[in-house]
């Protein structure tokens, strides 16, 4: 490169903030590429290296120049490589997404580049009174897939509550994919009960999972709103779980919800809450989630930990134990009992 141009480029890099923003832009391009490559089927097609003409057939490509552009972005971000005319997956992120547990990682990217992104993209209009996002009914399945990231932590949290208990009848409010029912049964073979969710797609996903895991004799999955419990949601329950659910209820409804759930518990029953709490600027992931919650219809801001504890005490729970589930975050587990 001509020295004069090099010096000009170096002067540009002295613009305050330019270099870090350029790095951020590169990371964003990588995430956009992975999203497009995942949703188009490109990553799946490249589990085994193949040439472009084969990709055109397998992906039903009608615009070859757009495929060329996508492949070029993959090479530039080093998520793809090419050898002797065949493209292959090179980047750690793309390799992870096509691995056994990659679906939850894909969901993380999809969430952040779709409805999470919309919270910021439309922030100006919504701050000034514009309509909030109305995507909640469309993202249930995506949220259920994303929630799998926290499964190992919730599994350990559950295990400490239910190990050795018999009987153990569970109500999982907002059961998502049904994974937490599966985790409960893995920790205690006496576990039976009901999963409840409002989203049709999520309920079907949970039913399919319960059947696949061979747990149909142990758990039922129902569609409904816990505020108006469908037939089959009848106590007493030995454990009621509320995992990442409370911010679907406004402050007044939370009190009524907790009071009603307490009435459904057996005398020795446990209410287990796990969720991300308001971070007051200390947890970037919590702050991001709170931004989304405040931007969507049907969700509320993240409550602070002491707010949840206050509600539980006000509803009559005598013993409340808190667990800091993830270092450096405001993800907490709360165990409330009557005795």
Q: Provide the 10 A C-beta neighbour count for residue 332.
A: 19
pLDDT tens digits for range 307-316:
999 999 999 9
> Which pLDDT score is estimated for 266?
93
Taking residues 84-103, what's their average pLDDT? Answer: 95
Q: How many helices (H) and strands (E) does the chain have?
A: 16, 10
pLDDT tens digits for range 246-305:
999 988 899 999 999 999 999 999 999 999 999 999 999 999 999 999 999 999 999 999
Confidence of residue 232 (pLDDT cuts 50, 70, 90): confident
Confidence of residue 111 (pLDDT cuts 50, 70, 90): very high
> Which pLDDT score is estimated for 151?
84
> Which pLDDT score is estimated for 252?
85
What structural domains does the chain harbor? Answer: 3-99 (1.10.10.10), 150-280+299-337 (3.40.50.150)
Rounded distance between C-alpha atoms, residue 287 and residue 278, angstroms: 7
> Which pLDDT score is estimated for 97?
97
Taking residues 68-92, what's their average pLDDT? Answer: 97
Taking residues 70-97, what's their average pLDDT? Answer: 97
pLDDT tens digits for range 11-69:
777 778 888 898 999 999 999 999 999 999 999 999 999 999 999 999 999 999 999 99
In order, the DSSP letters of 272-303 are EEEEEPP-TTS-HHHHHHHHHHTTBTT--PPP
Take residue 46 and report the two structure tokens written for it: 């490249």
Report whether pLDDT(1) > 60. Answer: no
Q: Report the phi/psi class of residue 244: left, alpha or beta, with left for phi > 0 and alpha for psi in -120 to 50.
A: left
Angle between helices 200-212 and 179-187 (to 10 degrees): 30
Kindly report the average pLDDT of the chain as a whole number: 92
pLDDT tens digits for range 114-169:
999 999 999 999 999 999 999 888 888 888 888 888 888 988 999 889 887 878 99
Q: Which whole-number Å values give the CA distances from 296 to 288, 291, 302, in the listed order? A: 13, 9, 13
Taking residues 105-114, what's their average pLDDT? Answer: 95
Confidence of residue 202 (pLDDT cuts 50, 70, 90): confident
H or E element that contains 173? strand 168-173
Task: Read off the DSSP letter of residue 21.
Answer: H
CB 312 within 8 A of CB 320: yes
Rounded distance between C-alpha atoms, residue 7 and residue 13, angstroms: 10
């Amino acid at each position: 490169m001509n020295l004069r141009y090099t010096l000009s480029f170096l002067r540009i890099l002295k613009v305050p903030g330019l270099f870090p923003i350029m790095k951020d832009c590169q990371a964003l391009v990588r995430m956009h590429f992975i999203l497009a490559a995942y949703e188009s089927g490109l990553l799946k097609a490249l589990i085994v290296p193949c040439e472009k003409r084969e990709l055109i057939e397998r992906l039903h490509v009608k615009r070859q120049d757009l495929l060329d552009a996508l492949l070029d972005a993959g090479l530039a971000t080093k998520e793809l490589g090419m050898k002797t005319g065949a493209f292959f997956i090179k980047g750690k992120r793309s390799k992870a997404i096509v691995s056994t547990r990659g679906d939850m990682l894909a969901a993380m990217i999809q969430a952040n580049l779709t409805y999470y992104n919309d919270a910021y993209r439309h922030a100006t209009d919504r701050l000034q009174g514009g309509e909030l996002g109305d995507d909640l009914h469309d993202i249930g399945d995506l949220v259920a897939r994303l929630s799998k990231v926290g499964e190992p932590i919730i599994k350990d949290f559950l295990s400490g509550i239910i190990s050795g208990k018999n009987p153990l009848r569970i109500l999982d409010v907002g059961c998502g994919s049904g994974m937490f029912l599966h985790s409960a049964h893995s920790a205690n073979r006496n576990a039976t009960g009901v999963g409840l969710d409002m989203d049709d797609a999520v309920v079907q996903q949970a039913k399919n999972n319960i059947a696949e895991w061979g747990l149909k004799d142990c758990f039922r999955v129902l569609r409904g709103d816990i505020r108006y419990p469908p037939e089959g949601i009848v106590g007493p329950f030995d454990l009621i779980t509320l995992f990442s659910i409370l911010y679907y209820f406004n402050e007044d409804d939370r009190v009524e919800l907790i009071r009603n759930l307490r009435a459904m518990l057996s005398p020795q029953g446990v209410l287990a809450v796990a969720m991300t709490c308001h971070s007051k600027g200390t947890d970037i992931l919590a702050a991001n989630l709170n931004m989304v919650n405040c931007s969507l219809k049907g969700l509320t801001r993240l409550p602070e930990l002491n707010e949840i504890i206050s509600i539980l005490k006000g509803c009559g729970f005598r013993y409340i134990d808190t667990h800091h589930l993830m270092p450096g975050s405001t993800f907490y587990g709360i165990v409330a009992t009557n005795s």
